[in-house]
Amino acid sequence: MRLALSALIGLVVMAAVGGIALFVNKGNHMELEGQIQKVRTLELDEKSSLVVVDFHVTNPADFQFKVKQVDVTVDAEGSVKQGETVAEVDARRIFDYYKQLGPKYNDSFKPRDVLNPKQSGDRMIAARFDIPEAKLAARRDLKLTIREADGQTTELREKR
């Protein structure tokens, strides 16, 4: 009986120490939190289209998150395709020319952007796909992959 009680007390103490360690180190994990808020598509020609993804992102860590790369992929007709991301200067021109996209709400999330510790913000990314707009609009999945300069990866998925 005494051995079982000692073992139980030991387990409780170990669980408490483990919980405290996790809580203290919570800010050391370099992964963004966020969600995709809006996805807009536009036909460029009969074989290609554009997708604009507006999203909210938060850096819960105690360190800066330095963006290395942002990718957009879609699953259209059972095949995963990666889009060619559009530079910020080109995104501004696209929004100026294609009024049917609506307003450009946020700045593009691009390489070398920095999210400071505990910072949140709304961003966007535009990407061109060699997929007709009808197939892109009927996609099964859209995934935004954000890579940090030191190798960490965050994925945001569209909720449909």
Domain that holds residue 10: 1-29
Q: Are residues 35 and 23 in the same domain?
A: no
**What would the DSSP string read from start to end of 46-72?**
TTEEEEEEEEEEE--SSS-EEEEEEEE
Provide the number of structural domains found in the chain: 2
Residues 48, 25 within the same domain:
no
Look up the pTM and report it: 0.79
Answer yes or no: do 48 and 7 share one domain.
no
Can you give the CATH number for the domain in which 102 is found? 2.60.40.1240
pLDDT tens digits along 136-149: 999 989 999 999 99
Q: Is the pLDDT of residue 2 over 90?
A: no
Instruction: Tell whether 98 and 115 lie within a shared domain.
Output: yes
* Residue 132 contacts residue 49 (beta carbons within 8 Å): yes
Q: What percent of the chain has pLDDT over 70?
A: 84
